[in-house]
Amino acid sequence: MVNNAKELMENPLDIKIDNVGPNINSPYPDYAPVISLDGNTMIFTSRRQGSTGGKLDKESKWFEDIYISKRNSENEDWSPAVQIGSNINTPKHEASISLSPDGSQLFIYKNNKGENGDIFVSKRMGEEWSTPEKLPEPINTKYWETHAYLTKDGKTLYFVSDRPGGLGGRDIYSTTKKNDGSWSIPMNLGPSINTEYEEDSPFIVEDSTGTTMFFCSQGHKSMGGFDIFTSRLKPDGSWTEADNIVYPINTSDDDVFYVPTSDRKHAYYSSSKLGGYGDQDIYYMTIRGFEKEKHIAKLKGVVLDVQTLKPVNSTLVLKNDSGRSIAEINTSEANSSFEIVIDKGRKYELTVNADTYTPYSETVEISSLDSTRNVEIYKKVLLSKQGVAVNTDTTTTKTVIPQNTDSIKCWTVQIGAGYNMRPLYFEKALGYKITMCNDGLKRYTMGEFNNKEEAEKQKQQMVFLGYEDAYIRACFTSTSFVAGSFKKLDKIYFDFDKYDLRSESIVVLDRVVQMMNENNNMRVELLGHTDIIGTEDYNQGLSESRCKSAYEFLLSKGISRDRIEFKGFSYRVPAVPNVSPQTRQLNRRVEFRIKGR
C-alpha cells in the first residue's frame, strides 16, 4: 500500500477539488451523493444529529437518513439540506445509493430488523418520492446487498453483495431484466473488478466511447482504504483491468461514492480527507484540461407536447452513425429532460416515441466548430398527437440539391442573417441542416417547405429554441433532384401487424403527391419495414403490403406507376433496436427515397 501510494502520488492528476460547503456537509458523516441529470439536485446520506427516530448505533453514531438539496442555477450555491421525506426516512437506517438515468427511480439501502441490509427503490411522484419497495430475488438475498446502479436502458442492474461464491468480501454483480420483468441469475464481474477485499459503489457511464464503470475497492493497486477505480466494458462482455483514478482524488483514507457528471469533466465523491467540516464530507472536483483531450459535445433538452408545451412520458433512443445505440432514456411528466454526451463531428439518429403521439425522428449532426471547445446543444422535442396534422419532424437527412434552373416558389425558414455572425450563436441549432447562402447576406437556412403553413411551424420551433430572429423567406428552387437523396418528408407508421394507412399518414402522403405534381421529373421509392415480432418471411410480406398501401394511395391521386417503386425489407433494417413497444412502433414504417429522373 505504501509503495502504491508513493508511485501514484508521483503522477497526480491536474484537478481542482472543492468542499461543497456547510449547506451540505456537517460535523457528522455525509456521503453517497446522488446527482440529478440537470445537476441541480443532490440527494445524499448523513448521520447527523436530528435523524428520524433520534437513535444512536453501537458506535455512538446517529442512524442514517437521506437528505436533499437544490442548487441555485444563478449563483450555483446549494440550499440548506433537508430530509427527503417521511415516505423514505424511518427510525431505521436509510442511505442513498443511486438515481436512474431518467431520474424516475431512487435506489436506497435499508437495514431492517433481522436482516443484513437490502436494496430498495422509490419512484418519483412530482416533487415527492414513493414508499420504497424491496427489490426481489435474486438481487436481494439473506446476505448483505449494499449498492446498485441501473443502466440507461433499464435492462442491466449492477449491484454489490457479500453472498457466497464471490472472490472476497463484497463483490460487484450484474443482472439483466427478462421479458417477463424478472431478473436473471446474477453474474460476478470477475477478478478484473472484484478482489479478495471489499468492492462497493459501482457507477456506470454510457456514451459514444463505450461503457465505463467507476467503483471503489480496497484491493487492486490501492493507496490505502477504499480507492476509486475505473474499468471499461469490452466487446466480449468482460471488463478491462481496474485502473486507479490516482492522486489527489484517491488518498490513503477512504475515498468512495464517486459520481461523475455526464461529460466526466466534474465529479462528486465522499472522502475522509483532512480539512473538511467533519467525519466524512462530500467534494466536487474539476478535471482540468479534460475538454482538450476529449472532443465531446453534450446533447440536452426536453420532450414536450407541441400544443400544450407540457412534459411527455416518452422513450428516447440515440444511435450513432455506425448504427450503435448509445442511449435510451425514459422521460416522464415529472422530468422530461434528457442529457447525453456524444462525439463532435458525427451524425446521430434521434428517435422519440410516446403513447398516442406520432413518432419523432431526427438526424442530429454535430459540427466540430472549435476543436478545443466542447459544444452544448439544446433541443426542445415537440410531439404531436396521432391524427393531428401538426408537423414537428425536424429530420435532417441529406437535403435535396437542385440541378437545373426550372424554378418553383417555396419557403425557407432562416435565422441569423448578417455578415459577421459568430458560430457560437448557432450552437442550439446545430442539430438542424443549416445552409449558408452567399447572396449578399449569410443566411442560415432551416429547410425548404412547399407551403407557408409548414414553414410557419418550423419557424415556431426555432423560436422555441431561442431564435427570436427566425423568419420566413420566399424563394425559388429547382424541380430536379439528386437521385438517392432524401427530401424533408415524414415517415409513415403502422399499427402492429397492420398495413392500413393511419389518418396522419394521409397528411404525409398528400405532401408527397404535392411534391410530385410540382416536380414532374421526380420519382420515389417506397421502403417498407416491420418490427421483429414474427418470422422473417411473414414480415417480408407485411413490409411489402405496407408499401403497396402507400403505392395505391399515390396511384389514386393520379401519380403514374412508372414514377413509383417499392421494396420491403421485413425486419432486417430497424430504425432503432426492437427492445420495447415504443421502439417497435418506430420500426413499423414506410420511408420515401427520391429517385431523380
Sheet containing 15-19: order of strands: 15-19, 281-287, 266-271, 255-260
Q: What kind of fold does domain 482-597 have according to CATH?
A: 60s Ribosomal Protein L30; Chain: A; (3.30.1330)
pLDDT at 315 over 80: yes
pLDDT at 482 over 60: no
pLDDT at 402 over 80: no
pLDDT at 359 over 60: yes
Ranking 4-13, 303-312, 575-584 by mean pLDDT, the lowest is: 4-13
Residues listed for the chain: 597
Q: What is the mean pLDDT of residues 422-430?
A: 54
- Nearest-angstrom CA–CA distance, 41 and 283: 15
Distances (CA, A) of 457 to 312, 357, 391, 461, 514: 20, 17, 7, 6, 18
Quote the pLDDT of residue 2. 38
pLDDT band at residue 401 using 50, 70 and 90 as cut-offs: very low
Q: Is residue 557 exposed (0-12), middle (13-18) or buried (19+ Cβ within 10 Å)?
A: middle
Dihedral sign from CA coordinates of 30, 33, 36, 40: positive
- Nearest-angstrom CA–CA distance, 353 and 330: 10
Quote the pLDDT of residue 40. 83
Strand partners, 360: 352
- pLDDT tens for 497-514 read 899 998 878 888 988 888
- Nearest-angstrom CA–CA distance, 424 and 427: 5
Ranking 87-96, 175-184, 296-305 by mean pLDDT, the lowest is: 296-305
User: In the chain, pLDDT over 70 holds for what percent of residues?
Assistant: 74
User: Among 390, 214, 382, which Cα is nearest to 301's?
Assistant: 382
Quote the pLDDT of residue 391. 37
Where does the chain hold its CATH 2.120.10.30 domain(s)? 2-293
Neighbours of 427 (CB within 10 A): 16
Are 415 and 400 in contact, with CB atoms under 8 Å apart? no
pLDDT at 496 over 80: yes
- Amino acid occupying residue 340: I
CATH number of 2-293: 2.120.10.30
Quote the pLDDT of residue 408. 41
- pLDDT tens for 22-81 read 999 999 999 999 998 778 899 999 999 998 988 888 888 999 999 999 988 667 789 999
- Nearest-angstrom CA–CA distance, 305 and 357: 9
pLDDT band at residue 414 using 50, 70 and 90 as cut-offs: confident
pLDDT band at residue 405 using 50, 70 and 90 as cut-offs: very low
Q: Which residue has the cell 466494458?
A: 233
Ranking 130-134, 542-546, 590-594 by mean pLDDT, the lowest is: 590-594
pLDDT at 98 over 80: yes
Between 387 and 155, residue with greater pLDDT: 155
Q: What is the mean pLDDT of residues 208-235?
A: 79
Quote the pLDDT of residue 370. 39
Q: How many helices (H) and strands (E) does the chain have?
A: 6, 36
Between 155 and 292, residue with greater pLDDT: 155
- Nearest-angstrom CA–CA distance, 490 and 400: 15
- Nearest-angstrom CA–CA distance, 274 and 417: 56
Quote the pLDDT of residue 164. 93
**Residue-averaged pLDDT of the chain:** 78
Ordered DSSP codes for 352-406 = EE-TTB--EEEEEE---S-TTS-EEEEEEEEE-BTT---------SPPP---SS-
Ranking 246-250, 570-574, 575-579 by mean pLDDT, the lowest is: 246-250
Dihedral sign from CA coordinates of 568, 572, 577, 582: positive
pTM: 0.54
